[in-house]
Every structure is written in structure tokens, then in C-alpha cells.
Amino acid sequence: MWPGAELAALSVRGSSDPLPPEAAENARREAAPIGGQFGAGFRGLASCRAELRAAFAERSDWEVELGFGKGRFLVSSAAASAPRPFLGVEMASRYFRLAARRAASRRLSNVVLLRGEALYLIATLLPAGMARTVHVYFPDPWPKSRHHRRRLLDPRTVDLVLSLLDRPRGRLFFATDHLEYGEAVADTLARHPAVELDRVDSGWPEGPRTNYEAKFVREGRPIVRLAARLRDGGLASLLHPGGRDDLLVGPGPAQEPSASRTSS
């Protein structure tokens, strides 16, 4: 069901590079270059999962963008904030490759891009607590109610996304022009026992962050912008009540053995 993942380790190892030498070297050795002298890709995660996980776990200040599209925000932020490490996750190959070329042409050594489905990669590869910030901008809204389950953020997925955040410093930033989805995400975050939520009604301090946001601001469309952070310590549960209620744990309560089974 899930697409495979592909990685661009866009750095040559240096003091500020986010990947250790083995991971970067494997990235170069194992698959065809995607363009530029820095590009490399993995055919699958099997051979490198442990080392990548360890590499991501080395730091807890990653800036992570899920669904970066053409990469405007990711690439410009990484260029402006080097050597802070940036990780971009994008499902669509053509956007992944476009952003990889952009990052390579700017010779950025603090960016790692993963092509793959974000929730799959969080569950299988990305260690908890790695991120100072998780950015989710204009994710596909899946407006039909029968498709809501495909949304990147909902009560069943929010714990997975929040698990990336370093506590207590981590922040989740979200924006959408789809007001129903935006209110649903605001409600999901507001009901979460571990989250403090703010609305960013006046826009980000630096102006529109992504291509979609710039376009929608030009068109005068309303945008829901949210900033969430994890409360510090003391919480019994990090699970959202909506997601938790979907869990069933078996077997059920112990039952008295029936007379027929105990009689022989």
C-alpha cells in the first residue's frame, strides 16, 4: 500500500552536515544520482533504516516539513538558517526531485529530503523527539467525508505527528485555506491533553511561507494558521482521546471457564 521511500542526502560530510559519513556514503553508493553532485537515492529503506534512524536521533533540533511541495519554504529556510538541520518529506516524486535540485544548486549541506508517505516514514524511520519544529502547510484537505481518513492530521494521526517534537521546546505549525479542515485540525489539537494551541490570525511574522500560501494570500482567501506546542511534563497520556477510542486491546476481560471445558 505504501510507496517506497527514497532519500536525498544532499550533503557532503562536513562539520555541519546532518548525516554521519556512513549514511551519506551509503546514500551515494546504493542508488542512482537524482541530479547535481550531491544527489543520491535509496531504492528502499531496508538496508539503511538503523543508521538513518540513529543519524536523525543524534539531534533534537531538526526542522521538519511534511508535504513540502516545490520546497520554497524548506530550501529558503535551510539557506537562511544553516547549519540548523532541515528534513523535508514529500510523497510526489516530481516535487521531491525539484526541491532536491534546488537544494543542490544552492549547495545546501544542512538539508535531507525523503520521498515517501509522511505517516509511514514517521512510524518506521523518524525517531521520537527529533524535531524542534514540524511544519505542515496546505496538506491535501480530502474534502469528502468518506475521504477524511486520508488526512495527514486527524485524531488518529496527530499523536504520530506530535511524537516527532522535542519536549518541551517543540512546535507544530499548520496552515490551510480549507476552512473546514482547518477548524477540524484546530479542534483536534485543542482537545489534545498535551497540547497548547494558538491561532496565528495575522499571518506569520515574515509573510507567506509556501507557494500555496503566497498564492492564496494574493487571492485574498482566508487561511487558518495554527501554532501548537506540547505542555511541559506531568501528563499521564500523550494520546488524543479520539485516536485512543479507536484502539481495541484484546483479549477481552477474563471470563469464567465454562462448565463444559472444565468438566473433563
Ligand X SMILES: C[S@@+](CC[C@H](N)C(=O)[O-])C[C@H]1O[C@@H](n2cnc3c(N)ncnc32)[C@H](O)[C@@H]1O
Instruction: Tell which one of 42, 86, 138, 181 touches ligand X (CB under 6 A).
Output: 138
Pairing of strands 111-115, 6-9: antiparallel
Q: Is the peptide bond before 168 cis (omega within 30 degrees of 0)?
A: yes
* Mutual angle of helices 72-81 and 93-105, in 10-degree steps: 30
Q: Does 92 bind ligand X (CB under 6 A)?
A: yes
Q: Beta partners for 176?
A: 224
**Shortest separation between residue 82's beta carbon and ligand X, angstroms:** 21
Q: Does 6 bind ligand X (CB under 6 A)?
A: no
Instruction: Tell which one of 152, 161, 228, 230 touches ligand X (CB under 6 A).
Output: 152
Q: Which is nearer to ligand X, 66 or 104 (CB)?
A: 66
Q: Does 210 bind ligand X (CB under 6 A)?
A: yes
Q: Does 7 bind ligand X (CB under 6 A)?
A: no
**Shortest separation between residue 189's beta carbon and ligand X, angstroms:** 18
The answer to whether 122 and 9 have CB atoms below 8 angstroms apart is no
Helix, strand, coil percentages, rounded to 5, for the chain: 35, 15, 50
Q: Which is nearer to ligand X, 17 or 113 (CB)?
A: 113
Instruction: Tell which one of 63, 90, 166, 177 touches ligand X (CB under 6 A).
Output: 90
d(CA 137, CA 209): 8
Q: Which runs of E-coded beta strand occur in 19-110?
A: 62-66, 86-90
DSSP 117-161: -HHHHHHHTPPTT-EEEEEEES-----SGGGGGG-SSSTTTHHHH
Q: Does 30 bind ligand X (CB under 6 A)?
A: no
Q: Does 181 bind ligand X (CB under 6 A)?
A: no
Instruction: Tell which one of 78, 118, 185, 189 touches ligand X (CB under 6 A).
Output: 118
The answer to whether 77 and 110 have CB atoms below 8 angstroms apart is no
**Shortest separation between residue 49's beta carbon and ligand X, angstroms:** 18
Q: Does 155 bind ligand X (CB under 6 A)?
A: no
The answer to whether 27 and 9 have CB atoms below 8 angstroms apart is yes
Q: Does 153 bind ligand X (CB under 6 A)?
A: no
Q: Count residues contacting ligand X (CB under 6 A)?
A: 20
Q: Which is nearer to ligand X, 107 or 147 (CB)?
A: 147
d(CA 247, CA 244): 5
Q: Which is nearer to ligand X, 41 or 69 (CB)?
A: 69
**Shortest separation between residue 90's beta carbon and ligand X, angstroms:** 5
Residues lying near ligand X in the complex (CB under 6 A) are found at 66-69, 89-92, 95, 117-118, 137-140, 152, 210-213
